[in-house]
Amino acid sequence: MLRNMMIPGVTLVLLFMISMTSVTGGLNESQQAENTIAIYGDKIYTMAKSEDGSWSGVIKDGVVLIKDGKVVQVGLAGDIEIPEGSIIKKAAVVTPGLIDARSVVGLAGWLNIDHDSDHIERSSPIQPELEALDAYNTREPLIDWVRSFGVTTLHTGHAPGQLISGQTFIVKTRGNTVDDAVVKRKAMVACTLGSDALRSGKESPGTRSKQMAMLRQEFIKAQAHMDKQEKAEGDEEKEPPARNLRMEALISILKKEMPLMISAHAAVDIQNVLRLQKELDISVVLQGGAECYDFVEPLKKQGIPVIIHPTMMRSSGVGKNASMETSAKLIAAGVQIAMGSGYESYVPKTRVVLWEAAIACAYGCSFEDALGMITLSAAELLGVDDRIGSIEVGKDGDVALYDGDPFEYTTHCVGTVIEGQVVSEAVR
C-alpha cells in the first residue's frame, strides 16, 4: 500500500517539478518580453542624421523596439516583428527623450528655501572643486515635473551667479540614488561673467575687469601646479606638489578634459568670453548669450558652442535685449547650439525645454532644428551622443510620447520612457 502510494507521490513530485520548470521557463520568457517595449507612433522623429548631416526625417506609422534598455529596432511598423509579451505603447508623435542642456534642477529646489537650495555656494567666488553629484536630490519634485514633459536627461549642476560656482554633471531623470542616474559625472565647470556674478561691498569681484583678472590669475596658478606635477613625474628626486582639488579641476580645463561653460549675456561679457578662450586656449561653451546675435561669426570661427538661453527669457536685466530669434540665427550660421532651461531665481523655478524649443520653432527655427536643440544637438554638445539624443539602434531607449504636435500649446506629452521603462504616464 505504502509503496503503491509512493509511486503516485513521486510522480506527483516529479510532475510538480516539471510543471515548476515550465512555469519558471514561462516566467523567464515573459520577463524577457517585459524587458521589451514597443512604441508605435503615427509619426516618429528619430532625430538621426543622414550622411550629409541633415535630419533624416520622419517615419510615418513607425515603431521603436527597446530591449533591455536599448533601442534594438526602429522603422515602419509593418516591417518589424514585435516579440509576444512586449509592452505596447502608442502615440500620435514619438521623439527621443528630451535633453535639457543647462539646468539646475536637482540642486535648486522647488520650494526655494535654504533646505532645498544647493545650487550656489557663496563662501568664495571661485570653487571649481564642487561636484554636482554631491548635491543632486533624486527626489526633487521638479525632476518629476520636467520628466512629465518628456525630459529624460539633464545637464545640471551649480548655477550661474559666482565667478566659478562649481561643476555640472549629466544625469537621467530617474533613479533612487544619484549613482543609479548619472550618465557623466564630470561634464563642465560653470563660470559666470557680468553683472550676475558681481559681489557687493568690499568683496571681489566687484567689477568686470576684476572678474577677468581673477580668472586669469587662477588659471596661471593652475598652469604652475600642472607644470610642477609634470616635472615631478619624470624625476624621482622631485616631490610632486600637494594635491589640490581646486587646481585639479582647473587643470582638467587646461588639458581640455572638461570645457569651461561661461554664462554671459551682455555684449561686453560675451567679448570677454571670446578673449578668454583665445588667451587660455581651452574649450569654452557659451551659456545664455542674450546678446550673442552680435557675435555669430567669432563664435563660429573660434568653435565655441552655445547653450542658448530659454527662448522665453525675461526681457529685463541682462536679458533686456534678448531675442526670440537668436536660436534660428545661430543655426542658420552653423554655430553648434543646444537649449537649456537655465537658472531661475524665483517663479517659475524651472523652465520646461519642450516649451522653450516650441517658442524657438514659432520664431524662425524649423521644427527639426528646434527639436534638435533639445535632443541630438544637445547630446552632441554635451559629448554623450553615442548614448542618447536620437532613436537609433544601440542607443538608450529614451523616448517621449505626445498626442499631437509636441510644440503646439494645446497638445500633451502623454508618456516618457527611460531605458525602456515607462517613467511617466501623466497627460500634460
Partner 1 sequence: MLSRKLSTVLSRISAITAVLMLLLNGWSDRVEAADIQAFVGARLMPVSGPVIENGTLVVRNGKIEQIGATDQVVLPPGTEVVNAEGKTIIPGLICTHSHIGWGGGGDSSEPIQPECWTRDSVDVRSASFMRARAGGLTLVNQMPGSGHLISGRTTYLKLREGNTVDDLLVLDDTGWPMGGLKMANGTNSQRSAPFPGTRAKSASLVRQAYVKAQEYRNKIAKAEGDAEKMPERDLRMEALVEALEGKRIVHHHTHRHDDILTVLRLRDEFGFEVVLHHVSDAWKVADEIAAAGADCSIIVVDSPGGKLEARDIRLENGAVLEKAGVNVAFHTDDWITDSRLFLRSAALGVRAGMTSEGALRALTLSGAEMLGLEDQTGSLDVGKDADFAILSGDPFSIYTQILETWVEGAQVFDRSNPDHLLYAVGGRGAGDDSAYHCCGEEGGH
For 193, other C-beta atoms within 10 Å of its C-beta total: 28
The residue type found at 109 is: G
Task: Using the minimum distance from each CB to partner 1, give the nearer residue, 182 or 359.
Answer: 359
**Which of 363, 366, 383, 422 contacts partner 1 by CB under 8 A?**
363
Among 196, 218, 291, 419, which residue interacts with partner 1 (rule: CB under 8 A)? Answer: 291
Strands 399-402 and 413-418: antiparallel
Residue 145 is a binding residue for partner 1 (CB under 8 A): yes
Under rule CB under 8 A, residue 156 binds partner 1: no
φ/ψ region of 280 (left if φ > 0, alpha if ψ in -120 to 50, else beta) reads alpha
Q: Judged by CB under 8 A, does residue 366 bind partner 1?
A: no
- Integer angstrom CA distances of residue 351 from 36, 161, 252, 262: 32, 18, 31, 20
At position 180, the amino acid (one-letter code) is D
Choose one: 24-32, 48-56, 232-240, 359-367; the region binding partner 1 (CB under 8 A). 359-367
Among 135, 142, 188, 264, binds partner 1 (CB under 8 A): 142
Please report whether residue 111 would count as binding partner 1 according to CB under 8 A: yes
* Range in contact with partner 1 (rule: CB under 8 A) among 38-46, 51-59, 108-116, 275-283: 108-116
Contact assessment for residue 323 and residue 359, using Cβ atoms and an 8 Å cutoff:
no
Q: Are the C-beta atoms of residues 172 and 418 closer than 8 Å to each other?
A: yes
HSE (side-chain half, CA atoms, 13 Å) at 265: 23
The answer to whether 375 touches 99, Cβ cutoff 8 Å, is yes
Residue 332 lies near partner 1 (rule: CB under 8 A): no
Amino acid at 309: H
158 binds partner 1 (CB under 8 A): no
Residue 306 CB, shortest distance to partner 1, in Å, is 16
Please work out the total of residues on this chain that contact partner 1, with binding judged by CB under 8 A. 44
The residue (of 231 and 320) whose beta carbon lies closer to partner 1 is 320
Considering only residues 80 to 99 of the shown chain, the ones binding partner 1 according to CB under 8 A are none
Determine if 171 is a binding residue for partner 1 (CB under 8 A).
no
Among the listed ranges 49-57, 206-214, 274-282, 314-322, the one in contact with partner 1 (CB under 8 A) is 314-322
Q: What is the DSSP letter of 129?
A: T
Distance from C-alpha of 182 to C-alpha of 277, rounded to nearest angstrom: 29
Strand arrangement, sheet containing 98-103: 98-103, 151-157, 164-172, 182-192, 260-264, 284-288, 306-308, 337-339
Among 66-74, 76-84, 179-187, 310-318, the segment contacting partner 1 (CB under 8 A):
310-318
- Which region, judged by CB under 8 A, interacts with partner 1, from 1-9, 191-199, 224-232, 408-416? 408-416
| Member of 58, 110, 199, 248 binding partner 1 (CB under 8 A) | 110
426 binds partner 1 (CB under 8 A): no
Tell me the three state secondary structure of residue 8.
Answer: helix
Q: Which residue type sits at 274?
A: L
**DSSP run (H or E) holding 152:** strand 151-157
C-alpha to C-alpha distance for 64 and 392, rounded to whole angstroms: 9
Q: Tell me if 143 contacts partner 1 by CB under 8 A.
A: no
- Contact between 355 and partner 1 (CB under 8 A)? yes
Which position among 134, 179, 203, 294 is part of the footprint of partner 1 (CB under 8 A)?
A: 294
Distance separating alpha carbons of residues 416 and 96, to the nearest angstrom: 10
CB of 351 to partner 1, least distance (A): 5
Between β-strands 70-76 and 421-424, what pairing exists: parallel, antiparallel or unpaired? unpaired
Site stretch for partner 1 (CB under 8 A), options 162-170, 228-236, 286-294, 391-399: 286-294
Q: What is the 3-state secondary structure (H, E, C) of 206-253?
A: CCHHHHHHHHHHHHHHHHHHHHHHHHHHCCCCCCCCCCCHHHHHHHHH
Looking at beta carbons only, is 92 or 324 nearer to partner 1?
Answer: 324
Query: What does R_g of the chain's alpha carbons equal in angstroms?
Result: 25
d(CA 398, CA 412): 18
408 binding partner 1? (CB under 8 A):
yes
Asked if 50 is part of the footprint of partner 1 (rule: CB under 8 A), the reply reads no
> Which one among 362, 387, 421, 426 touches partner 1, defined by CB under 8 A?
362
407: exposed, middle or buried (Cβ count in 10 Å: 0-12, 13-18, 19+): buried
Tell me if 333 contacts partner 1 by CB under 8 A. no
Q: With respect to partner 1, which residue has the nearer C-beta, 356 or 396?
A: 356
Residue 425 binds partner 1 (CB under 8 A): no
Q: Are 313 and 351 in contact (CB under 8 A)?
A: no
Stretches 41-49, 59-67, 346-354, 377-385: which one binds partner 1 (CB under 8 A)?
Answer: 346-354
Binding site for partner 1 (CB under 8 A): 109-113, 141-142, 145-146, 291, 293-294, 312, 314-316, 319-325, 344, 346-352, 355, 358-359, 361-363, 407-412, 428
